[in-house]
């Protein structure tokens, strides 16, 4: 058997306790064979975890990965103006090659910061599928559709593309890639398109993922026009089911929180994006109390401006306390759970916990740093003090994607240079 042993570290268990243990991985099927001390099998490969914390790979549950190219391109604006004035015109000029290199840049960034799994809404998805397949991550990918401002034929074409992409690539990369149908949001996609997209997705057991209740500008028109809250509208459209997941959920009232809990719909909290675009503060503690499945996502790099899930967990804890006006809200354990198991559950992919028989999606965090000293509480450190750059090794599906801070599946320097060149050419075109 082809095995990998991660040895000498401390291991974060699903109940958020930490114990000294080695982890033995079956590289053939990508699962964890054993966790403990004195594992006797001779491993084909070892990773040194002395002085490190071995934790589940982080799960970035909402991203637009190729937006790394637009990092710092337009800042300091609220959502609607930012999208319409800056982002959508720039995205209209992106080529398939740009999408590819932007995705690879994002994947390098994720691997370097211990993210093994992500959910992504973008376009030119075949490029992203191929990049993910080669880079070795796990992902739920989809084509984001917008219908406002388009004639009926173009609108249906965009919806059809989302459905076809989802059908074509579900199960790609030996099952590491799953898909979702991804209408952009409840206000940028018209009612008949949303209804059809959800019906077609669910016919094939494919989830629906969309932005919802991100800003009051998005909520108010729905309430005015329909006299119902956005998530009640989404439920009528058949888009609020156990397999579906929404991004943001900032402006949700108590009834909508109850709907999310009842239907089992996942919510992806994106704290940095919500702060940067001044969208608002999501009532995360209220959602957790109601039993809603909550994960964490970075959103695109242009509204963050990085893909570091450690930053995101800290932001989630901080803004969660402010929103609840309670320093005990959204505690360290809660954010670490949300950034791992909560995200995995929300997007319907395996991972987020280190368990025998579970997938071997693992981040090894180097604790030998001034900002992680002393080791009073390692879960606290993951939530409040660690950074993506503390990650030393990253493993996904049993394969080592980064060893001793060297990314093995992508040529980091070449990807960065191609990204710089792509953006120089893009700026000339715009
Ligand atoms: N097919 C669509 C593209 C949709 S992809 C998903 C879109 O979400 C956009 N996006 C990024 N961050 C956010 C956010 O926070 N809220 C809403 N949309 C966002 C992103 O720029 C991208 O255009 C089209 O042709 O316009
Ligand atoms: Zn988004």
Distance 13 CA to ligand 1 centre (A): 36
Which of 91, 161, 301 to probe ligand 1 with, by most ligand atoms within 8 A of CB?
91
Q: Which residues line ligand 1 (CB under 6 A)?
A: 64, 79, 83, 87-88, 91, 121-123, 144-146, 158, 184, 211, 214, 273, 299-300, 303
Taking Cα atoms as reference points, which of 387, 397, 293 lies closest to residue 341? 293
Residues 6+ away with beta carbon under 8 Å from 131: 100, 103, 104, 107
Neighbours of 152 (CB within 10 A): 11
Cα(196) to centroid(ligand 2), Å: 22
Q: Are 200 and 156 in contact (CB under 8 A)?
A: no
Quick one: which atom of ligand 1 is closest to the CA of 67?
A: 21
pTM exceeding 0.80: yes
Q: For residue 31, what are its two tokens?
A: 């699962």
214 marked as binding residue: yes
Predicted pLDDT at 62: 99
Q: Measuring from atom 21 of ligand 1, which residue has the nearest CA?
A: 87
Is residue 209 annotated as involved in ligand binding? no
For residue 88 the two structure tokens come to 């959508």
What's the CA-to-centroid distance between 174 and ligand 2, angstroms? Answer: 27
Residue with CA closest to ligand 1 atom 23 = 88
Residue nearest to atom 4 of ligand 1 (CA): 144
Structure token pair of residue 348: 């319907």
Ligand nearest to the backbone CA of 160: 1
* Domain architecture of the chain: domains with CATH: 3-56+352-407 (2.30.40.10), 58-347 (3.20.20.140)
Is 184 marked as a binding-site residue? yes
CB-facing half-sphere around the CA of 296: CA atoms within 13 A: 32
**Cα-based angle 107, 110, 114 (whole degrees, multiple of 5):** 140
Q: Is 7 flagged in the annotation as binding? A: no
Nearest ligand (C-alpha, residue 274): 1
In the chain (430 residues long), the average pLDDT of successive 10-residue segments reads: 96 98 97 92 93 99 98 96 96 98 99 99 98 99 98 98 98 98 98 98 98 98 98 98 98 98 98 98 98 98 98 98 98 98 98 98 98 98 98 99 98 98 96
Which helix H or strand E contains 54, and what residues bound it? strand 52-56
Asked whether residue 393 is marked as a ligand-binding residue, the answer is no
Spatial neighbors of 13 by CB under 8 A, at least 6 apart, are 19, 354
Query: Which residue has the CA at smallest separation from atom 26 of ligand 1?
Result: 146
How many A from CA of 237 to the centre of ligand 1?
Answer: 21
- pLDDT computed for residue 38 by the predictor: 84
For residue 382, give the H/E element and its range.
helix 378-384
Torsion angle (degrees, nearest 10) of CA 276, 78, 122, 178: 50
How confident is the model at residue 40, as a pLDDT?
72
Residue 169 has which token pair? 């690539």
- Ligand 1 centre to CA of 22 (Å) is 42
Instruction: Compute how many other C-beta atoms are within 10 angstroms of the C-beta atom of residue 387.
Output: 16
Question: How many angstroms separate the alpha carbon of residue 76 from the centre of ligand 2?
Answer: 16
Instruction: State the burial class of residue 404 (Cβ atoms within 10 Å of its Cβ: 0-12, 13-18, 19+).
Output: exposed
Question: Nearest-CA neighbor of 210 among 176, 233, 227, 226?
Answer: 233
The pLDDT tens digits for 286-317 are 999 999 999 999 999 999 999 999 999 999 99
The angle at the Cα of 410, spanning 9 to 303, to the nearest 5 degrees, equals 85
Q: Calculate how far, in angstroms, residue 44's C-alpha sits from the geometric centre of ligand 1.
A: 44
**Residue located nearest, by CA, to atom 3 of ligand 1:** 144
Which residue has the least CA distance to atom 17 on ligand 1? 211
């Amino acid at each position: 058997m082809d095995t990998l042993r991660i040895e000498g570290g401390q291991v974060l268990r699903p109940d958020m306790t930490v114990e000294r243990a080695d982890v033995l991985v079956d590289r053939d099927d990508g699962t964890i064979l054993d966790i403990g001390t004195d594992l006797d099998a001779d491993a084909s490969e070892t990773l040194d975890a002395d002085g490190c914390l071995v934790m589940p790979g982080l799960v970035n549950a909402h991203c637009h990965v190729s937006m790394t190219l637009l990092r710092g391109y337009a800042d300091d604006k609220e959502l609607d103006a930012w999208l319409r004035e800056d982002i959508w015109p720039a995205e209209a000029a992106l080529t398939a090659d740009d999408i590819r290199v932007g995705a690879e840049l994002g994947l390098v960034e994720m691997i370097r910061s211990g993210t093994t799994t992500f959910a992504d809404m973008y376009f030119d998805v075949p490029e992203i599928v191929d990049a993910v397949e080669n880079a070795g991550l796990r992902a739920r990918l989809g084509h984001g559709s917008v219908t406002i401002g388009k004639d009926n034929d173009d609108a249906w074409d965009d919806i059809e593309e989302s459905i076809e992409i989802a059908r074509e690539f579900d199960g790609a990369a030996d099952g590491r890639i799953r898909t979702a149908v991804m209408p952009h949001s409840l206000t940028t996609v018209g009612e008949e398109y949303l209804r059809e997209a959800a019906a077609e997705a669910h016919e094939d057991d494919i989830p629906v993922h969309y932005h919802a209740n991100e800003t009051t500008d998005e909520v108010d028109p729905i309430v005015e026009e329909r006299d119902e809250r956005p998530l009640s509208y989404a439920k009528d459209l058949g888009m609020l089911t156990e397999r579906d997941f929404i991004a943001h959920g900032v402006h949700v009232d108590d009834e909508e929180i109850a709907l999310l809990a009842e239907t089992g719909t996942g919510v992806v909290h994106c704290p940095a994006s919500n702060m940067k675009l001044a969208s608002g503060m999501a009532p995360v503690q209220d959602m957790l109390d109601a039993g809603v499945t909550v994960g964490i996502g970075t959103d695109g790099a242009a509204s963050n401006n990085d893909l570091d899930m450690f930053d995101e967990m800290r932001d989630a804890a901080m803004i969660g306390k402010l929103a609840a006006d309670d320093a005990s809200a959204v505690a360290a354990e809660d954010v670490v759970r949300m950034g791992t198991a909560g995200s995995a559950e929300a997007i319907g992919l395996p991972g987020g916990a280190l368990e025998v028989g579970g997938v071997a999606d693992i981040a090894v965090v180097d604790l030998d740093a001034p900002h992680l000293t002393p080791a009073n509480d390692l879960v606290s450190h993951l939530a409040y003090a660690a950074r993506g750059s503390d990650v030393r090794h990253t493993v996904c599906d049993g394969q080592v994607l980064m060893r001793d801070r060297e990314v093995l599946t992508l040529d980091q320097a070449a990807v960065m240079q191609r990204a710089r060149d792509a953006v120089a050419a893009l700026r000339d075109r715009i």
